[in-house]
Structure 1
Amino acid sequence: MDSRVVGIPDVDGTEQVAVVIDVMRAFTTAAWAFHRGAEKIVLAADADEALAIKACHPGWLALKDGAPVSGFDLVNSPGLMQEADLAGRTVIQKTTAGTVGALAVVEAELVLCAGFVVAGATARALADAGAESVTFVATGEDGRAAEDLACAAYLGRLLAGDSPDAGPYLHRARTSPAADDLRSGRRRGAHPADVELCVEVDRFDFGMKVGIDDGMAVLRPLRTRPDAVSGVHRAR
């Protein structure tokens, strides 16, 4: 399978199949939200849009990165999401990079959102779809985030049918500037477990697919066949 890696500024509208990567922390948090029972996640471009959507749907929960602020119910942190009761709930997610990247390619034929926690299932979803080429959108730092590039490289190996050792890719993510920022407290709204939760491989057995519902970009879990890619396996 052919692949390329771009940052958000390099998205040019030619993407037919896209995997939008935000390891730390948007799509790790999203995966945890689904694990905690969320039905769907509406992707918002900015805080104002998130709050406007919530105003129209008072039962929905709004999530953003950074410190807690009025109007938002949840923080973009997998560590904090671990204890959330989201059974049957809809979450509106706004983040600095991840949701922006997903919205940039929302017109593509297939859009998946990913981090290490859903890497295997993401590769299987691409195989299920018969994708011949894929664009990885590394959302952090305009495409330079080490953790997103490491995840893209790992996914590329899986798609090639390899069974790569996840260790070097996880080390690159664990020692990235983003990980240092989380550990040091320079990123507000962080939990002490966030970094390690972001570098769990195949923690979940579902992918995450973007669709359009009522004019909104909506992320939902996507179950896949376990044998769709021979090289994909649960890393320990």
Structure 2
Amino acid sequence: MDARFLGIAELAEVPSVAVVVDVMRAFTVAAWAFAQGAEKIVLAESLDGALALKGDHPDWVAIKDGPPAPGFDTVNSPALLRSMDLGGRTVVQKTTAGTVGALAVKDAPLVLCASFVVAEATARLLRTRASDGVTFVVTGEDGRAEEDLACAQYIARRATDAGTAAAAFLRRAATSRAAADLANGVRQGSHPDDVALCLEVDRFPFAMVAAQEGSLTVLRPRTLPPLTDVAPV
């Protein structure tokens, strides 16, 4: 598999397969939302756009980066989300990097959104694809976020070598600037447990696939069949 690792600004063309990585915290939060029962996640282009969607659908749950704000139900923290019952709900998510990266490649035939908590499911889904080229979108710090790059490289390795161990990649993420900022309370709208939750490998058994549904970019979980049933498509 030919893997490319690019920042959002480096995307010059629509890739055939895109894996958008945001470990701390957008796509860890998204995975937790699905684990808490959410049916789908709408990726909003702006805060105003998220609030407009929430206004049109008052029962939807709106999530943003940073501190709490009027109109939003919660913030982009997996630790805070894990206590919410989202059974059957639609979530609207707007973050600084993760949702921006996903929207930048929304026209790709296959868009996966990933973090460590869904790493193996994402790698398995890549292994079922016939595509030779995969573009990993490293969303944080203009493509230089160590936690996102480490996760992207881990998934790429797992896609071709299922025996690849996670430990070295997790150490890189644990010592990243984002992890330090979260641990030290630099980022508003965070919880002391966020870093640990973002570094749990394969907590959830599903990958997350983004696709266009009408005018919206919608993220949904996809659970793969047992390994013995997986065949290339």
TM-score category (smaller protein): over 0.9
Number of residue-to-residue matches in the alignment: 230
Q: Given residue 158 of structure 1, which amino acid in structure 2 is its aligned partner? A: R
Structure 1 stretches of 4+ moved >4 Å:
none
Determine the structure 2 residue equivalent to 1:73. Answer: 73
Residues 154 and 166 in structure 1, CA contact (< 8 A), matched pair in contact too = yes
Structure 2 CA distance for aligned equivalents of residues 132 and 229 of structure 1: 22
Determine the structure 2 residue equivalent to 1:233. Answer: none
Structure 1 CA distance for aligned equivalents of residues 222 and 125 of structure 2: 8
Residues 213-222 or 129-138, more deviating: 129-138
TM-score normalised by L of structure 2: 0.96
Q: 1:224: Cα distance to partner?
A: 1.2
Determine the structure 2 residue equivalent to 1:89. Answer: 89
Q: Given residue 218 of structure 1, which amino acid in structure 2 is its aligned partner? A: V
TM-score normalised by L of structure 1: 0.94
Residues 35-44 or 152-161, more deviating: 152-161
Secondary structure of 1:152 counterpart: helix
Q: Given residue 186 of structure 1, which amino acid in structure 2 is its aligned partner? A: V
Structure 1: segments with no counterpart, 5+ residues: 231-236
Secondary structure of 1:135 counterpart: strand
Q: 1:80: Cα distance to partner?
A: 0.5
Determine the structure 1 residue equivalent to 2:205. Answer: 205
Determine the structure 2 residue equivalent to 1:119. Answer: 119
Query: What whole-Å deviation, never above 9, does each CA across 1:64-107 have from its counterpart, x for those lacking one?
Result: 01110100001100010110110000000000000000000000
Q: 1:162: Cα distance to partner?
A: 4.1
Determine the structure 2 residue equivalent to 1:34. Answer: 34
Residues 18 and 137 in structure 1, CA contact (< 8 A), matched pair in contact too = yes
Equivalent pairs: percent with the same residue?
Answer: 58
Mark the CA change 1:228 to 1:100 in structure 2 (over 3 Å): closer, same or farther. farther
Query: What whole-Å deviation, never above 9, does each CA across 1:139-183 have from its counterpart, x for those lacking one?
Result: 000100000000011111111224122111001101100000001
Secondary structure of 1:188 counterpart: coil
Determine the structure 2 residue equivalent to 1:218. Answer: 218
Q: 1:229: Cα distance to partner?
A: 11
Structure 1 CA distance for aligned equivalents of residues 79 and 174 of structure 2: 16
**Is 1:56 aligned to residue 61 of structure 2?**
no
Secondary structure of 1:69 counterpart: coil
Q: Given residue 155 of structure 2, which amino acid in structure 1 is its aligned partner? A: L
Secondary structure of 1:208 counterpart: strand
Residues 117 and 200 in structure 2, CA contact (< 8 A), matched pair in contact too = yes
Secondary structure of 2:227 counterpart: coil
Residues 14 and 107 in structure 2, CA contact (< 8 A), matched pair in contact too = no
